Amino acid sequence: MIKINCNALGISPALFTATMLTIPCNSTAQHTLSGGFWANYQYLPDDEANKNSWGEIGSEALILYLDGAADEADGRWLYSAEVRAGRGSFTDPDNNSSGDQWGVHKAWVGWQLSPQHQIKVGKSQVPFGWKSINFWPGDMLLGGYGDQMDVGAKLEGDFTGWRYDAALYLADDWGTTSTDTMDDNGHWGSSDTYRKVQTWVGNIEYSLTAQHTIGASVQAGKLQDLTGNPERPVDDSHKAAVLYYQGTMGNWYLNASLVSTQRDLPTEYAQIQTPPLPDEIENQRYGLELGYTRGNWNWYLDTTAAKPDTQGSDADTVTALAPGFKYDYGPGWVYVEYLTQDGFIDRNGMIGEGDFEALYVTLDFYL
């Protein structure tokens, strides 16, 4: 039996009790309530204050998981949710729906149409390419197209070597102005500029063999102006496409992707910036992940690059590299990673230049 001190976690006991009471306890269904915690050590070799402190330990987060599914004979429903609280929640209080350091990373209810096909409604992972072994710092210059979690409906399934996803996301987070995707933040406007809405996503994969898969994903949608117009018009658009490969060879694995992106910014927002932003932002992204697993160990190298195709951009092609490893010690993992990059992706999807290096050591555990 797990005892939870709600006051120690900063959670209202009444709220926690009410939440627990709403969980169906049908004896013929499967329900799981679990939790976890992570924190991170960060050392910045180019930051004198950080070096004088010998780095810092922070980015702490408490995570709650709720998962369930009906037994096959009694129904076809299923659900999954993840709630995070703390400065390591990878949420942005200025641009999320809670206005604080907590958020709902995912929450969806599903229906099993058949053993191979299901539909999910709520906040779920956007089916676009592959996801890195560790989104932070693995996504790097794939920012905006990495570990995205948006709100809408998704159909997914597989048949004879093929796998597919088809989705419509009304927005990238809960509420009317939030732009918070939690893991892949800071690449889709803000609560007072614009946000991503009405996005259609399609993904198709084909397994050449049991070890090698190729795939393609596309997405297209609108951008909603949040600069002050009470009607919040959705006259502008975004689109992207990715070709990708995933493979394993014994203990080795390799993931590769080529991403093409385009974003037509809301005119009013673009023109009031200093200097004015281009109406159309285009760039190419490249991702490569090479890894080796043995027992409880997983060594990997994440590398990304971004090439600007935006008219008037003065940035060159930029790159980012993150070698690291993780170790499964039992209740969780230890990650050790070193990030170095000479560029970044901003909130408008534009490429910028700038050097950054950091050593990260992350420890987590789960109940």
pLDDT digits (tens, 9 = 90+) for 324-363: 999 999 999 999 999 999 999 999 999 999 999 999 999 9
Mean pLDDT of 142-162: 94
Q: What is the CA radius of gyration of the chain?
A: 21
In angstroms, the first-to-last Cα distance of the chain is 12
Residue 28: the pLDDT is 59
Residue 20 CA to residue 6 CA, distance in Å, equals 12
Q: Which two tokens mark 98?
A: 């809670």
Mean pLDDT of 30-49: 96
Residue 76: the pLDDT is 92
Helix (H) or strand (E) holding 133: none
pLDDT at 229 over 70: yes
Count other Cβ atoms within 10 Å, centred on residue 247: 15
Residue 203 CA to residue 134 CA, distance in Å, equals 21
Q: Burial, 187: exposed, middle or buried (Cβ in 10 Å; 0-12, 13-18, 19+)?
A: buried
Name the residue with tokens 């990673």.
337
Residue 321 CA to residue 323 CA, distance in Å, equals 7
pLDDT digits (tens, 9 = 90+) for 290-308: 999 999 999 999 999 999 9
**Cβ pair 68, 78 in contact under 8 A:** yes
Strand partners, 352: 344
pLDDT above 70 covers a percentage of the chain that reads: 92
List the one residue out of 293, 196, 289 whose CA is nearest residue 252: 293
Q: Which two tokens mark 35?
A: 């939790």
Mean pLDDT of 160-179: 95
Residue 89 CA to residue 112 CA, distance in Å, equals 30
Strand partners, 231: none
Sequence-distant (6+) residues with CB within 8 A of 361 are 40, 41, 334, 335, 336
Q: Which residues of 45-64 are buried (b: 16+ CB within 10 A; e: fewer)?
A: eebeeeeeeebeeebebbbb
Domains, the chain: 41-366 (2.40.160.10)
pLDDT digits (tens, 9 = 90+) for 257-273: 999 999 999 998 999 88
Residue 280 CA to residue 302 CA, distance in Å, equals 29
